[in-house]
Structures are given as structure tokens and as C-alpha cells.
Chain A
Amino acid sequence: MTAALGRRAVASAFARSFLIQGSWNRRTMLGAGFAFAMLPALRVLSRGDAAALEASLRRHLEHFNAHPYLANLAIGAALRLESDHEDPEAVRRFKTAVRGPLGGLGDALVWAAWLPAVSLAALSLFWLGVPGPVAVVVFLLVYNAGHLGLRVWGFRTGLANGRHVARSLGAAALTRWTERVRSVAALFLGLLCGALLLGEGGLSDAGLPWAGLATAAFAGGVLVGNRLWRPAAVATVAAIALLATWGLAS
């Protein structure tokens, strides 16, 4: 199957998948990025037939959305379907069927679990007194080990299984992984709170009133949730602006 496409076209599709969100728009979302990633392989498969190339591009330019890392699963599977000369309507149906799960699973696993977990670990290291550059390097290495692993796994799984990727997706048990990573993230969140409370340059240095206020702010965040984030940021900026103006006036 890879032989029909050639290694170069497959490698090019993988490399271009890193740009899949480059032309994100409300009309087709990742559609143009998906077509851009598929283009070298579609050129190979159309063998100079301009009409065939345009027809295949049309179905990949259409609306598509997924998590950018897990979109590789769809790109790999679409390459397989195109190289197997599947019915165009089947390719369309496949893409429509996978976009929801790939978006939901990816957002939950990566944005709402893996990224916060690794960020919290790096922040904990920093506030515990580990040199800043070490915390940054740990963050980048650990985060991208998971990131690149997910991209490579998705692309290879899609390419190997074509329209049957749903089975591999189920076997990978991403939902279970999400729960595990969230549990680890909760542990790291506790670690960070402890480091902020007693660490050097943290709230204990600032004094008990600040530690009490921070604890109340944390509790507010837990109770109210995301709706409190923007007002808290606005309040912080307003407090800084008021204090600075007051200092200037006095």
C-alpha cells in the first residue's frame, strides 16, 4: 500500500500534518490543512490526470475538524483509502464519521489532561527551587514525547488500518488513558499548591493574609469553575492599575 504512494509522498503527508491548523477558518475548519497534507500523495495517485486530482482534492478540502495530533489518524487512513481506490463517497463518509471522536478524544486527552499535567509538573519543579531552565527543558521533553508519540501512532495506525481505525482507536483505550493522566495531573496540582504555599518566593514569604486570600481564590475556582477565570484576570489587572495610579498620585 505504501508502495503505491511511495515513501516520499507518505513522509511528505506526515511532515505537512504539523501544519494542519495553518489555515484554520470557520467555514471548512481544518479542511484546507487536510487537503494540503494529502496533496503530494494525491498527485502521485492521480498520475498526471488533472481531473482525477481535482476530484480527490475536492473531497479533502471539505469541512473537517479534529484534534490536530489525532488528525494524523484520519490523514493516514485517508491515504490508505485513496491508495486502495475506495469509493469517493466512502472516503467522505469515513471522514465525517471520525471527525467528532478524534476531536473529543484529543481535546480531553491532550488539552485537558496531558498539557496541564506536564505544565503543573514543570511549574512545581520551578516553585520548588529547581533551576528554571531545567524545568523548561523537562516540560518540553516530556510534553513532546507524548505529543510526537501520539502523532506517529495515529499516522501509522491510520495508514495500516484504513477505514477500520475505529477498532484500533477502541483498543488504544484513550478514554482510560485520559482518566489516568487526569489523576496524575491532580497529584501535580496538589504538589504545585504545596510549593506555592511554602516554597521560596511563594505565599509564605508574602505573609499569612496573602496565603489566606490565595486559598480563598483557589476554593472559588473549584466552586465556580471556568466562569471565574476571566473576572479573576480582570480583577488582577485592575488591582495593579489602581495601585500604580494611586502610587503615582501619592
Chain B
Amino acid sequence: MELVLVSLLGGALALDGTSVGQFMVSRPLVAGSVTGWLLGNPALGILVGAILELYVLVSFPSGGARYPEGATATVVAVASASAVDAPGALPLGVAAGLVWGQVGGLSVSALRRLNGRIVPEPDAPHPGRVALSHPLAVATDGVRGTVVTLAGVLFGRWGVGWLAGSWPLEARDTRGLLLVGGAVSAGVLLRTFGSVRRHRILFAAGLALGLLGARLL
């Protein structure tokens, strides 16, 4: 039952990625906390979501681009990490999520090819077909997200269950390893804001505030 619920959640969150609304409930930070809450481990869910959010900071859901799918990746990561209580569950869950984000991205590309066959040709604009084909494409996306999540959770839980118990790093080193990967995205993001020189003062001011805040809070 839990597997069905998690898969349906993945499908629902995946819809927000492109097809429905784009309210950003599909972002890892949100998807992680919702999945964690569903699985009875909200703290783990939001931690996994926050780590994956760091990785996908530079992944913009623009229509034509192929990007890792954050929603299904995060649901898979949280569901995998919560499968066993072992030190390796967190990094292996995150790794499963990163791999499955790419699989999700590939499935979105395949869906777009399928949509090209579903939607009517502009030369044959039958109103009934327009009214039906569009919701059909949306529903297909929901099914795609559900299936991708289900397969990912099965894969992730198998891998985590097999390897998590023999994880060799301590918790603090594990956290360090995961944050180093995320730091690359943060650097890339600063570059995408335009001239680094122009933003250096604001970045430095934020850094000072962050260091101060971390000491005080």
C-alpha cells in the first residue's frame, strides 16, 4: 500500500513539473518534505530534499530543455533512504535520486514525442479532438510519473537495502561528500546570474550575513 501511495505521489508531483500549473511543489525541497511526511520521517525527507535542491538549483524547468526530473528523483531518494535505518541510507538514497532524475528526464523526452502524435494537426482542427487530446496528454504524464517513481523506488530500495549496512564513512564525512557536489551547482548559479564582478559585493554581503547568522542562530 505504501508503495502505491508513494508512486501516486510521485505521479502527482511530476505533473507540476511541466504539465499542470508549475506551482513548484515538484521542487525537491517541497517534494522531499511531503514524501517524508507521508512515510512518517519528515526530518529525513526535508534533509534529502534540501540536498537535492542544491543539486538542481541550476536545473530550470523551461519547456524545451531536457533536465533531470526533480520531483520523481526526490520521491525515489526519500523512499529509498527511509527503507533502512543505516548510515549509508542517506547517501545511497541521494545517489538513487540523482540517477533517477536522469531517467525521469529521459521519460519526459519520450512523452513529448508521444504528445506529437496525440495532439491534432493544425490542418485538422476538430474541436472535440482538441478538448480530449490535451487532457489525455496531461493524464499520460501523470501515469508516466507514477510508473517512473514506482520503478525508481523498487530500484532504490533494493540498492539501499543491499549496500547501506556496509557504508564506510561517518555521518559527518557523508554530509561533507554530499555538500561538495552541491557546491558545484551553487558556483554555476552565481555564473548564470550574469557578471560575477557585478554581483560580487552582494554575494560577499550575503556570505558575511550567512556566517554571522550561522554563528548566532
User: With A and B bound together, what is the CA distance between A81 and B30 in angstroms?
Assistant: 40
Q: Does the CB pair A229–B184 fall under 8 Å?
A: yes
Interface residues on B, range: 35 or more
Residues on A with beta carbons closer than 8 Å to the beta carbon of B203:
186-187, 189-190, 193
Q: Does the CB pair B29–A126 fall under 8 Å?
A: yes
Would you list which residues of chain A between 184 and 212 have a CB under 8 Å from chain B?
184-203, 205-207, 209-211
Q: Does the CB pair B29–A119 fall under 8 Å?
A: yes
Count of A interface residues, CB-CB < 8 Å: 113
Q: Does the CB pair A139–B29 fall under 8 Å?
A: yes
Q: Does the CB pair A32–B64 fall under 8 Å?
A: no
Q: Does the CB pair B176–A213 fall under 8 Å?
A: yes
Interface: A1 (CB within 8 A): no
User: With A and B bound together, what is the CA distance between A80 and B79 in angstroms?
Assistant: 48
Would you list which residues of chain B between 56 and 77 have a CB under 8 Å from chain A?
57-64, 68
Q: Does the CB pair A39–B24 fall under 8 Å?
A: no
Interface: B1 (CB within 8 A): no
User: With A and B bound together, what is the CA distance between A250 and B191 in angstroms?
Assistant: 42
Contact of B33 among A35, A69, A133, A144 (CB under 8 A): A133
Q: Does the CB pair B194–A197 fall under 8 Å?
A: no
Q: Does the CB pair B177–A239 fall under 8 Å?
A: yes
Contact of A28 among B119, B181, B213 (CB under 8 A): B119
Contact of A54 among B125, B175, B176 (CB under 8 A): B125
Interface: A11 (CB within 8 A): no
Q: Does the CB pair A122–B22 fall under 8 Å?
A: no
Residues on A with beta carbons closer than 8 Å to the beta carbon of B194:
179, 182
Kindly provide the distance from the CB of B75 to the nearest chain A CB, expressed in whole angstroms. 15
Q: Does the CB pair B88–A244 fall under 8 Å?
A: yes
User: With A and B bound together, what is the CA distance between A127 and B134 in angstroms?
Assistant: 41
Contact of A58 among B122, B138, B176 (CB under 8 A): B122
Residues on A with beta carbons closer than 8 Å to the beta carbon of B92:
240, 244
Kindly provide the distance from the CB of A60 to the nearest chain B CB, expressed in whole angstroms. 8
Interface: A21 (CB within 8 A): yes
User: With A and B bound together, what is the CA distance between A185 and B204 in angstroms?
Assistant: 12
Q: Does the CB pair A139–B30 fall under 8 Å?
A: yes
Would you list which residues of chain B between 69 and 103 have a CB under 8 Å from chain A?
88, 91-92, 94-95, 98-99
Q: Does the CB pair A24–B189 fall under 8 Å?
A: no
| Chain B interfacial positions (CB closer than 8 Å to A) | 18-25, 27, 29-30, 33, 42-43, 46-47, 50, 53-55, 57-64, 68, 88, 91-92, 94-95, 98-99, 112-113, 115-116, 118-123, 125-127, 130-131, 133-135, 137-138, 141, 162-164, 166-169, 172-173, 175-194, 196, 199, 202-215, 217
Q: List 24 A-B contacts (CB under 8 A).
A: A21-B63, A22-B137, A24-B19, A25-B113, A25-B116, A27-B116, A28-B122, A61-B119, A61-B121, A122-B29, A132-B42, A135-B46, A139-B27, A179-B194, A190-B202, A190-B206, A192-B206, A196-B210, A206-B176, A210-B180, A214-B176, A229-B188, A232-B185, A247-B167
